[in-house]
């Protein structure tokens, strides 16, 4: 097994075992070990302290970030990834349906656009 395959397999195994979601994991570890301090202060820090993450951490050491400057952007300085989970979208829709309040949806669209800009889209 090559290093890339070991890293991918390790990430998937860790996320399955720990319950850390894809969006959280890839937000926390964008840039590899360059993001370790931020990841270890985030919502899933306790999961990354587990022994089951140690192999993933060791794999990450073999990689350099391709766009380290991204870590300095507002998106990666934030507390959480921009997600689109159904519960969040339903809550946004409730505000629209019940009060014709579009502020939550407008904020979500702005956040998605900001994430898209950050990701190069």
Separation between Cα atoms, residue 28 and residue 44, nearest integer Å: 8
pLDDT > 60? residue 121: no
The model's pLDDT over 94-107, given as tens digits with 9 standing for 90+, comes to 999 999 999 999 99
pLDDT(120) > 80: no
**Can you tell me the distance from the alpha carbon of 53 to that of 91, in angstroms, rounded to the nearest whole number?**
33
Q: Quickly state the pLDDT bin for 118 (edges 50, 70, 90).
A: confident
Give CA angle at 27 (19, 89), nearest 5°: 75
**Token digits of residue 17:** 């075992």
Specify the pLDDT at position 85. Answer: 85
What are 56-86's pLDDT values in tens digits? 999 999 999 888 888 888 888 888 998 888 9
Percent of the chain with pLDDT over 70: 98
C-alpha 11/C-alpha 52 separation (Å) is 10
Q: Taking residues 38-63, what's their average pLDDT?
A: 94
Contact (CB, 8 A) for 38 and 29: no
Eight-state DSSP code of residue 119: T
**According to the model, what pLDDT value does residue 74 have?**
83
What pTM, to 2 d.p., does this model score? 0.81
């Amino acid at each position: 097994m090559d290093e890339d395959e070991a890293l991918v397999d390790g990430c998937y195994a860790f996320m399955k075992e720990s319950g850390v979601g894809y969006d959280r994991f890839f937000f926390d570890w964008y840039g590899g070990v360059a993001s370790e301090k931020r990841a270890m202060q985030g919502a899933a820090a306790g999961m990354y302290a587990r022994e089951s993450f140690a192999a993933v951490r060791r794999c990450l050491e073999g990689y350099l970030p391709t766009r380290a400057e991204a870590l300095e952007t507002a998106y990666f300085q934030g507390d959480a990834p921009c997600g689109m989970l159904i519960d969040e979208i339903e809550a946004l829709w409730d505000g629209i349906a019940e009060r014709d309040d579009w502020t939550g949806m407008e904020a979500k669209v702005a956040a998605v656009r900001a994430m898209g800009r950050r990701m190069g889209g």
